[in-house]
Amino acid sequence: MKIAIPSSDKSGLDSEIFLHFGRCPFYTIVDTESDKVEVLTNTSVHFGGEFDPPNLLSKAGIEGLVCSDIGTKAIRLFDDLGIEIFIGAGGTVEEALAAWKEGKLQKPAGEYTCEGHRDEKGEQ
């Protein structure tokens, strides 16, 4: 499986996870079958590009996203593209990948949204 993890820098497995997946400067891409690691610069619409983050990752062949948290709109976009989402990751990319491999991360369910996408009343 080819997994993307939002990253704060280009240091691959040693990079810290960036908490807002769509606005991260980079995505560390890990192919879990070959253990190949590459870093993709985030050139989505947040940075003047032409694709939203889910479509940018889909065009890179991503099959899964491992992240800290995610909003409902993004969940729908990833779902439409057939990309699985795993939330609850923290620390470095390597630590997040280990948590995913150990089954410690979860999939968002229901009308889930991350705290960063709620207003002061707690609404989306």
Domains and CATH numbers, the chain: 2-116 (3.30.420.130)
> In this structure, are residues 77 and 54 in contact, taking their beta carbons and an 8 Å threshold?
yes
Tell me what pLDDT residue 47 has.
Answer: 64
Residue 38 host element (H or E) = strand 37-41
The whole-angstrom separation of Cα 90 and Cα 45 is 25
Tell me what pLDDT residue 117 has.
Answer: 44
- Whether the pLDDT of residue 38 is over 80: the answer is yes
Tokens of 91: 């620390």
Condensed to tens digits (0 to 9), the pLDDT of residues 60-119 reads 999 999 999 998 888 999 999 999 999 999 999 999 999 999 999 999 976 555 544 443
Tell me what pLDDT residue 58 has.
Answer: 96
List 106's β-bridge partners, or say none. 87
**Of the candidates 97, 89, 100, the residue with the CA atom closest to the CA atom of residue 30:** 97
Condensed to tens digits (0 to 9), the pLDDT of residues 110-122 reads 655 554 444 343 3
> In this structure, are residues 36 and 97 in contact, taking their beta carbons and an 8 Å threshold?
no
> In this structure, are residues 4 and 24 in contact, taking their beta carbons and an 8 Å threshold?
no
